[in-house]
Amino acid sequence: MKKELIKELRDSFGLKKNHAAILNELGNGDLDARRLVKKTGISIGRIYNLLNELINMGLVEKVSKTPAKYSTVNIQDRVSEFLRHEFISQIEKQQKILSLLEEKETVEIISNSREFDYHTMAFQSRAKWIKIIHADLSLAWFIHPKDEKEFWKIRQLIDKRRKAQTTLNKELSLMKYKSSLEVYENKPVEHIMTKDALEGFARMIKEEFGAKKLKQWANELADNLKVYKNVRIFIIDTPHSIFNIDISDKEVIIVLLHQNNLSGVKLTGKRISDIYKGSFEELKSKARPIEEYLGKII
């Protein structure tokens, strides 16, 4: 039953692989950090951060001080409480949004990928500024190669590797990409991506094109970030959302990718925008600039 609960946390709430590995080991008994390092293969430098994250989630507790040991006593109760808290939190957010919608805010359903692409391009043209919270493995388009042929080759590789619901039509994909590049040149844009997404993208480039190409990509990205001074990309260690959330000064587009199906909504209204902008800024305070990661992944 413990492993089933941990799997549910990974599948539905973005629990990282290393979090799950720690929980699996602690399910067999209390352990200190060094024993966890030996059993999981996680580096000593990462283990404490991961343990603190699990403690903050309420899934693990410290049970001794010298040396500090960690425990998942009553793991079923802990997981149930975590799920309950997440559920209540989501309900509270939804109720707040719905109360605003009742005050003449508008909502529009997005039912497929093509519709989403056109909504996104229109959204970009209307926005004064844009902030994007990416779901677990979602990527900022800014990190893709600027050459159109290389860009399309990368998009095809991503589709092949992770079966994501991306823009499969080449013409529409390039149209959307050019629209994004125009936005990057003219408007303030901030992205928050997960570390797993960045590392997975870098790993794909290395495996498909070699270490030299990976280094070239990282250097070009660093140069582009200096040229496009209004673009900032932040990396967060822990997955935080199953949704992609695009936020502007007056609109929010929320998109869910699940089992290769896309659905979502577009919300219109400054007060709604302010709510999601606040969530973005809170998340950004826990993230680090992408520049700090580029040298580590080549």
Mean pLDDT computed over 218-225: 93
Is the pLDDT confidence value at 14 over 70? no
Is the pLDDT confidence value at 236 over 80? yes
- Alpha-helix residue ranges (DSSP H) falling in the chain: 2-13, 17-26, 33-40, 44-57, 75-101, 113-126, 148-162, 170-186, 195-209, 211-227, 270-284, 291-294
**What domains appear along the chain, each with residue ranges and CATH number?**
2-81 (1.10.10.10), 104-294 (3.30.870.10)
Q: Which of 99-113, 186-200, 237-251 has the lowest mean pLDDT?
A: 99-113
Q: What whole-number percentage of the chain has pLDDT above 70?
A: 79
Start-to-end Cα distance in the chain: 40
Does the model's pTM come out above 0.85?
no
Q: Residue 103 — very low, low, confident or very high, per pLDDT cuts 50/70/90? A: low
Q: What is the pLDDT of residue 202?
A: 93
Q: What is the pLDDT of residue 1?
A: 41
Angle at the Cα of 221 (from 117 to 238), degrees rounded to 5?
70
Q: Which of 10-19, 161-170, 220-229 has the lowest mean pLDDT?
A: 161-170
Mean pLDDT computed over 122-143: 89
Is the pLDDT confidence value at 90 over 70? no
Mean pLDDT computed over 287-295: 91
